[in-house]
Amino acid sequence: MQITIAVIIPCYRVKAQVLGVLARIGSEVGRIYVVDDACPERSGDHVRDHCTDPRVVVLRNAENQGVGGAVMAGYAAALAAGADVLVKIDGDGQMDPALIARFVRPIAEGRADYTKGNRFYDLTHIRRMPPARLAGNAVLSFMAKLSTGYWNLFDPTNGFTAIHAKVLRRVPFDKLSRRYFFETDMLFRLSIVRAVVKDVPMDASYGDETSSLRIGRVAGEFMAKHVRNFVKRIAYSYFLRDMTVGSLELVFGTALLAFGVVFGARHWWLSVSTGVAAPLGTIMLAALPTLVGLQLLLAFVGFDVSNVPRQPIHDELPD
């Protein structure tokens, strides 16, 4: 079955690189959407005036909406045009367009609903990554595992992605984060619909371009959104949509751990205040629920890891 591939390229301060990216996109792609996100360099006009590729369509956001807003504008246009698989790459030249076919293949073969890049597969390439990005990505990756439930993925902020159109139509655009949290929030939304996501090994080149993402500036925002998504995911997956043994492990584990910690802390404070040692029975009454609660919570984490979606859903969804 022949599939139609559309590529979305959000553009903001990439005037110097975007034409080179467009020139390297292969013939397997049917349409290319360049989204000028109110770029001060007028990247969209630059592409319109200097690119002769008939596949290229220039879209413009009247106001800067961030990477998420730009990508969603491209997604909407590609869906309206009937694209089957939508690929997103950046316009700064860090992503090799020759890899597009590799990202599309698992989706076309029915093995995934969404694919994303992972720059951490080849350890020899990691040395080229700036240390700040390396450390920040490791922290963000662990936080993303907790909040999205995709324990099998790494490099969650990687912007080289591909998605099946049927699955994308199940993602609520109005609820997605529009700026730096966009890629991670997309993973959270995909976990809610039980989409299968696979990492695709890739390398990235780092040249003279500068990233506008500052970890220190967004750390608090990212943490708050990860906590929000984690709570929502647990509520949706283990209590609203289904009830499993993991639900019981989480409830009883949390309750026992909370009781053990609060009870133990209270009697420890009484012992310190009065100078009278707590009886052995009191100590055991605090220690036993704490240990059992920890064991149940660890069992829940194990259950959650094993609960990663493995059956692609796009073939089951209506057109």
CB 48 within 8 A of CB 17: no
Look at residue 128 in the predicted model and tell me its pLDDT: 66
Encoded amino acid at 229, one letter? N
Q: What is the pLDDT along the chain (319 residues), one digit of tens a residue?
A: 689 999 999 999 999 999 999 999 999 999 999 999 999 999 999 999 999 999 999 999 999 999 999 999 999 999 999 999 999 999 999 899 999 999 999 999 999 999 999 988 777 766 667 676 677 778 888 999 999 999 999 989 899 999 999 999 999 999 999 988 999 999 999 999 999 999 999 986 655 545 555 555 667 788 999 999 999 999 999 999 999 999 999 999 999 999 999 999 999 999 999 988 889 999 999 999 999 999 999 999 999 999 999 999 999 998 7
Distance, CA of 248 to CA of 147 (rounded, Å) = 19
The pLDDT of residue 170: 96
> What contacts 186, CB < 8 A, 6 or more positions away?
114, 161, 171, 176
* pLDDT at residue 120 in the model: 84
Question: What integer pLDDT is reported at residue 208 of this predicted model?
Answer: 52
- Structure confidence at residue 289 (pLDDT): 97
Give the per-residue pLDDT at 222. Answer: 87
Q: In DSSP terms, which residues pair with 72 in a beta bridge?
A: none
Question: If you compute the radius of gyration of the chain from its CA atoms, what whole number of angstroms results?
Answer: 24
pLDDT at position 216: 58
Q: In whole angstroms, give the CA distance from residue 3 to residue 90.
A: 22
- Which own/partner pairs from 238-245 qualify as long-range (CB within 8 Å, at least 24 positions apart)? 244/303, 244/307, 245/303
The CA–CA distances, whole Å, from 292 to 243, 246, 248, 279, 283 equal: 21, 15, 13, 20, 14
Helix axes 182-192, 66-80, angle to 10 degrees: 50
Looking at the whole model, is its pTM more than 0.85?
Answer: yes
Q: Please give the pLDDT value at position 211.
A: 52
φ, ψ at 130 (rounded to 5°): -55, 140
What one-character-per-residue DSSP string does the chain give?
A: ----EEEEEEESS-HHHHHHHHHT--TT--EEEEEE-S-TT-HHHHHHHH---TTEEEEE-SS--HHHHHHHHHHHHHHHTT-SEEEE--SSS-S-GGGHHHHHHHHHTTS-SEEEEETTS-HHHHTTS-HHHHHHHHHHHHHHHHHH--TT---TT---EEEEHHHHTTS-GGGS--STTHHHHHHHHHHHTT--EEEEE------S------HHHHHHHHHHHHHHHHHHHHHIIIIIS---HHHHHHHHHHHHHHHHHHHHHHHHHHHHHH-PPPPHHHHHHHHHHHHHHHHHHHHHHHHHHHTS--S--TTTS--
